[in-house]
Amino acid sequence: MSGAWVLTDGRPGNEGPATALAAALEARGWPRAKVVRAAPTAKTALLPAAAWTAWGAKRGGWPFSGYEDPSVFDAEWPELVISAGRRSAPAAAAMKSIRRRALKAVQILDPGLSPRRFDVMVTPEHDGLVGAGIVNTLGALSRVGPLGPPPAEPPSIAALIGGPSGSARWSEGDGRALIDGLSAVLSDGVAVEATGSRRTPEGLLDALRAVGASVWDGAGANPYPEMLRGASAVVVTADSVNMASEAASAGRPVLVAPVSGLAPKLRRFHVGLQRAGCARPFQGRLETWEAPGLDEAGRVAELLVRRYIGRP
């Protein structure tokens, strides 16, 4: 056994934090992680993780047979596996139960399994999960690092737009308020560059173009990194933990645009981000300050090496 795996179902919201932590551990002596993507079959994807792991694990058998391509587990297993999300957690927990002390297992996000199934579980503090073997983070782990001071001129805002989800309903009024706020910014002579997500209503992006914002059309490479680099501040809709975390990790002031029906855990996240000096509410104008910048991936990696998984 040697090396490290990042084990995910390929979803960006899971793979991004896992690769961020792997990179931070690499900087502390662990080998570069191999990304192993394992998507469950349609039936097993519907099972809660606890039900999926109700039977004894067997290499080559259950739960590995519940994945679309079980052959990914035929390779030599690593010394460290970093899994993220509910759908890769059963395999990581099974690998740990089979190899026991010979394999370290780090799970990112609560999959609905006992933390005892892993060496450590890394979860956002706004989820409210605490206890032995649990490390809390302020928001999501990110590979984005401090980008240095933005250009002094011209002033600009990067607008990162999410959309309705199970944790944030949104309303038509929320979209209008966002457009009105960014339109006011443009009227003040501040440039606005915007990008959406898979959840962003197309009509909202069209409305942003109509008021003069530069909106990425999805063609070519995503300009997201350069948008952050050149921004004086970043406007993020309150539904997205990942985008707000990345903007804060870049060291940019984060202006949070409110949306309706926000789940309590998301409200707690934004309160924490404001207390850390990273964010303020968006009020239709450019605001800048010396944001502290987050490095949660580095902080967590250092803690894991010292207390949970050691060095290879």
Question: If you write DSSP's letter for every residue of 174-207 in order, what string do you get?
Answer: HHHHHHHHHHHHHHTT-EEEEE--TTS-HHHHHH
Measured CA to CA, the distance from residue 88 to residue 12 in angstroms comes to 13
- What is residue 1's predicted lDDT score, i.e. its pLDDT? 60
Measured CA to CA, the distance from residue 14 to residue 137 in angstroms comes to 15
CA separation, residue 255 to residues 235, 285, 306 (Å)? 5, 9, 35
Torsion of CA 117, 118, 124, 125, to 10 degrees: 70
Torsion of CA 293, 297, 301, 304, to 10 degrees: 110
Provide the 8-state DSSP code for 276: T
Measured CA to CA, the distance from residue 180 to residue 185 in angstroms comes to 9
Residue 277: partners with Cβ closer than 8 Å, 6 or more residues away: 289, 291, 292
- Cβ–Cβ under 8 Å, residues 117 and 93: yes
Angle of helix 296-307 relative to helix 12-26, nearest 10 degrees, comes to 60
The closest of 164, 123, 137 to 272, measured between CA atoms, is 137
Q: What is the pTM of this model?
A: 0.89
Residue found by looking up tokens 């679309």 in the block: 68
Query: Which tokens belong to 230?
Result: 């050149």
**pLDDT tens-digit profile, the chain (312 residues):** 679 999 999 998 899 999 999 999 999 999 999 999 999 999 999 999 988 886 778 888 889 999 999 999 999 999 999 999 999 999 999 999 999 999 999 999 999 999 999 999 999 999 999 999 999 999 899 988 888 888 878 899 999 999 999 899 998 899 999 999 999 999 999 999 999 988 888 899 999 999 999 998 878 887 888 899 999 999 999 999 989 999 999 999 999 999 999 999 999 999 999 999 999 999 999 999 999 989 999 999 999 999 999 988
- The radius of gyration of the chain from alpha carbons, rounded to an integer in Å, stands at 21
The closest of 309, 124, 143 to 228, measured between CA atoms, is 143
